[in-house]
Structure 1
Amino acid sequence: MASAKERAQAFKDDGNKAFAAHDWALLARVTNSEKANIKSEAYGYAIADATKAIELDPNFVKAYYRRAVAYTAILKSRDALRDFKTVVRKAPNDKDAKLKLAECEKIVKRVEFFRAIEVGDEPSAAEGLDLDSMVVDEDYDGARLEKEMTTEFITDMLERFKNGKKLHKKYVYQIILAVKKIVYDEATMVEMEIPDDAQLTVCGDTHGQFFDLMELFRLNGFPTEKHYYLFNGDFVDRGSWSTEIALLLYAYKWLRPASFFINRGNHETDDMNRVYGFEGECKAKYNDRTFKLFSESFSALPLATLVGKKYLVLHGGLFSDDKITLDDIRKLNRHNQRQPGQAGLMMEMLWTDPQTEPGRGPSKRGVGMQFGPDVTKRFCENNGLDAIIRSHEVRMEGYEEEHDGKCITVFSAPKYCDSTENKGAYINIGPDYKLEFHKFDAVPHPNIKPMVRISPEYHQC
């Protein structure tokens, strides 16, 4: 049996290996530190650890600071404000803390402003938008879009985006409005079969990493009539090219509505977009109306896709109640609730995570909850499924099979936020419904910083 000294050295070695590999999730498990938990987006754990530290030492300023950071990340800005005020009071000469306090005060005021103006019958951002009268200048050097999407227009769009160019705003509006109508009419849980002469590729989070998505397409092929694609949410925020990815996915959805699928993720929501960069990017590259139109289209996106009655694909995970079935998802009227809120079926579909322990537990994120292998097994058995496929979390190899293979995570943003040395992955599914996992590495991209509102000190993008 190893001595205490040997165990301590092994513990230290594991931590050093995890740090060297930028494997923040493993580092969090090894060290259980607030900083590692924040890096791995385990904000709930970070808050719990910081709270324990504060209970042991009420003057431990770093614990207040890290708890404030974690609260900000999960949009609990009032709690964050309280802790930042404590940091400034206990460390009045800390200039960085004062800056963070000022940032947090702005966020709180902004959140309160949007809450104050939210009304149920707010007019659409499309109201008064006359596309027919909008003129595309003769000196616009891109392909022209008429009444329908074309492969030629998408090819030209890709080249424009690679070269740092934008679309004309008329085309941006056209694409968003066309896709909003298409996805609004789809079921909350889209049900599809893979034809004998086709295959489906399931992709996880891409988070604005446009050049890595281009690498995925280079390796695996672009969408065609026989090559279906399903993007499982979180295609915006954090990366520097969220508008490019959103417009590209929407263009493909318009071109091939019956063979290109998009699920909503927890980042296709207003509160996340205001904090993690997409709103700012829309306004900087286009205008405020573009963000509002995207927001309306995000709330129209399906929440899940049932593939061949064998795999339920949804962004987050399973539910706090074992009685929930596929029929409950079918019956969910997502159009009555634009944003997921803090509880309920929609929130759980977008936010929950698997855990290794049986049963259910508190969320490491501080939002939603976690579900164990027994929960997954019961859900699959009750609904006749082989497995659930979800995204929502970095995996160092790009994917992971958990819960005896019944819970599969796929994540398609390699070298996530340029700070985690993970691979990206995608899953190919043929007409036999066998799963083929493919990994890929990040590729170089222009050095353009994302327009994120969260401080880069505690989140690298």
Structure 2
Amino acid sequence: MSATITDDIVKTVLDTIEENKKYETDEEKSHLIKCEANQFFKDQVYDVAADLYSIAIELHPTAMLYGNRAQAYLKKELYGAALEDADNAISMDPSYVKGFYRRATANMALGRFRKALADYQAVFKVVPNDIDAKSKFEECQKIVRRQNFLLAISTDHDKKTVAETLDINAIAIEDSYEGPHLEEKITREFMMDLIQKFKDQKKLHKKYAFKMLLDFYNYVKELPTMVEITVAAGKKFTICGDIHGQFYDLCNIFEINGFPSETNPYLFNGDFVDRGSFSVETIFTMMGFKL
């Protein structure tokens, strides 16, 4: 469902509530909106349900509302948002069992099995006869046990990664190399030269390729799982879909919309490198601008 249609439906619901005026306080209005949201959730219209829960929360936040919105986010596979709502629900009411269940489900989807197990265990203790809670608890328990087993039999505890053993300075640059040269930091001039060489179907030297990979690895490993972006008023933030290794399409986007910079930021959805014939060129261009 498009955002426009969702907004129209939400507006219609709110207008109807205002016309009927069957409330006197924000709490009562919040309850009416929650009831409407519950119906949309039952009808599997999760976008509308989530938006209505959000409005109800603004009027009168409760653990149940956060739990309900978390469930809507789970249905939309927005696991990070669901996790945050579940945390809020538990913070407001530590006895709200569904909050723990929602958080466990979100952590399970995010691969945080040990955290999920702790919450499933808490739910299972409260409702030991609940078939679904028992099933989820046992499923998560099996995964954690398997992880513990694999860790116990692993013999690679002291094994170093390629990033730790690679000596970039030992890699020589041949006199015949005609591509761009990378100094300590990537510059805009380097990126423009690199893009042109890629367009001419020339290659970046492996020494510089390794350096970019290591720099990017060291950069992203310090980032949090979820990075929040604030777009200032009057500024733009361009969001692009999958590139699929289409390097020349990527270049065309930059030529039309401007090259990435601090004042012209981009967000690219996943699938950067599959399918297309220029996947290496695509990912190195994107890494370069990020660095």
Greater strand share, structure number: 1
Q: Which has the higher contact order (CA 8 A, sep 6+)?
A: 1
What TM-score comes out, normalization by structure 1 length? 0.29
What TM-score comes out, normalization by structure 2 length? 0.45
Whose Rg is larger? 2
